[in-house]
């Protein structure tokens, strides 16, 4: 997913925190640098199904570390390899500043709860856009860690939402694919306006 939560998850920060960050040129510079590596909406890699991870070596562990660092600098809570142009079924996330970085390779949803929750999500690949997305409140995911070991994650709330968001990226699914047609049109318009303003600046 992407950026830190607005209403939550996956996105932007609360207005006061966001204002503080704007005032910190070092944080803003790191965020801009990190965002330059992240593929944006419209890039074909974001609409493609990623290939399984089959080699659990130092290169993979370095990739996990790099993804974690870029995610942190971009002020995100999750990042999937396709967002960096890498067709790998690999994602990382960290829910909370003191939480450990979690890597999931080849994740599979074993179970999702029937109860769902609608919350606004954003995405580092679609900056400045937030849309309402329905997600299961509880999930159980089986995956491999960066060393190749089995990892079973039972998650609820924000963690469950972040995992589902990032797993969508591995299948070429974006938040715009999970919202209403009206919200999608409005989001794309807002995104185009933001891009125009950015280019003009």
Structure tokens at 188: 């794309």
Structure tokens at 82: 């396709």
Query: Which candidate in 108, 159, 166, 182 is catalytic?
Result: 166
Residue 134 near residue 118 (C-beta atoms within 8 A): yes
| Distance, CA of 140 to CA of 201 (rounded, Å) | 45
User: Which pairing describes strands 116-122 and 102-112: parallel, antiparallel, or unpaired?
Assistant: unpaired
| Distance, CA of 53 to CA of 169 (rounded, Å) | 15
Whose tokens are 């995610």? That residue is 71
Is 146 annotated in the active site? no
User: Which pairing describes strands 90-93 and 102-112: parallel, antiparallel, or unpaired?
Assistant: antiparallel
DSSP for 156-179, written as a single string: EHHHHHHHHHHHHHHTT--GGGGS
Residues annotated as catalytic (active site), given as ranges = 166
């Amino acid at each position: 997913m992407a950026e830190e939560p607005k209403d939550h998850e996956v996105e932007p920060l609360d207005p006061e925190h966001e204002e503080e960050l704007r005032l910190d040129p070092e944080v803003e510079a790191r965020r801009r640098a990190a965002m330059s590596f992240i593929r944006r909406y419209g890039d074909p890699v974001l609409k493609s199904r990623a290939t399984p991870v089959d080699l659990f070596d130092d290169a993979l562990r370095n990739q996990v570390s790099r993804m974690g660092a870029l995610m942190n600098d971009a002020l995100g809570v999750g990042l999937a390899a396709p967002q960096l142009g890498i067709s790998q079924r690999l994602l990382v996330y960290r829910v909370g500043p003191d939480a450990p970085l979690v890597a999931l390779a080849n994740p599979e949803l074993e179970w999702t709860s029937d109860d769902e929750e609608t919350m606004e999500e954003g995405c580092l690949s679609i900056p400045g856009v937030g849309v309402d997305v329905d997600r299961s409140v509880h999930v159980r995911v089986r995956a491999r860690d960066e060393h190749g070991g089995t990892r079973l994650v039972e998650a609820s709330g924000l963690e469950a939402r972040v995992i589902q968001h990032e797993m969508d990226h591995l299948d070429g699914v974006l938040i715009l694919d999970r919202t209403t047609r009206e919200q999608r049109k409005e989001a794309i318009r807002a995104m185009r306006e933001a891009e125009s303003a950015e280019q003009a600046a």
